[in-house]
């Protein structure tokens, strides 16, 4: 049960292998050293506020990235559901 709950909440350990390539394609190869520099390079002022400027990503990379995100999400949901089933099944046994 503990294993399932741990795997359901692992945000940092499970990483999308396409994330670096995807975000480089969206925001460009240049790394911004500060938040101020990021806003200066990626936002443009409009008459109603600011607009985030992003590059268009190749369809193949975009599909791979989102399929991997979906796989990670489904795994987390399956672990959560399994943990809840085990908790329901053995709830009263935890105190004995």
pLDDT in tens, 61-94: 999 999 999 998 898 888 889 988 988 888 877 7
pTM: 0.69
Query: For position 64, what pLDDT does the model report?
Result: 94
Query: For position 96, what pLDDT does the model report?
Result: 59
H or E element: which one contains 83? helix 59-90
Query: For position 56, what pLDDT does the model report?
Result: 86
Higher pLDDT, 62 or 41: 62
Q: Which two tokens stand for residue 66?
A: 């989102």
Q: Determine the structural domain holding residue 62 and report its residue range.
A: 2-94
Q: How many domains does the chain fold into?
A: 1
- What is the per-residue burial (b if ≥16 Cβ within 10 Å, else e) of 27-66? beeeeeeeeeeeeeebeeeeeeeeeeeeeebeeeeeebbe
């Amino acid at each position: 049960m503990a294993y399932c709950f741990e795997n359901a909440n692992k945000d940092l350990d499970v990483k999308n292998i396409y994330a670096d390539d995807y975000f480089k394609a969206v925001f460009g190869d240049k790394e911004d050293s500060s938040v101020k520099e990021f806003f200066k390079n990626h936002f443009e002022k409009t008459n109603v506020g600011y607009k985030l400027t992003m590059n268009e990503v190749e369809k193949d990379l975009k599909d791979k990235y989102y399929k991997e995100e979906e796989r990670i999400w489904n795994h987390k949901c399956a672990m959560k559901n399994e943990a809840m089933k085990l908790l329901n099944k053995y709830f009263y046994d935890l105190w004995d």
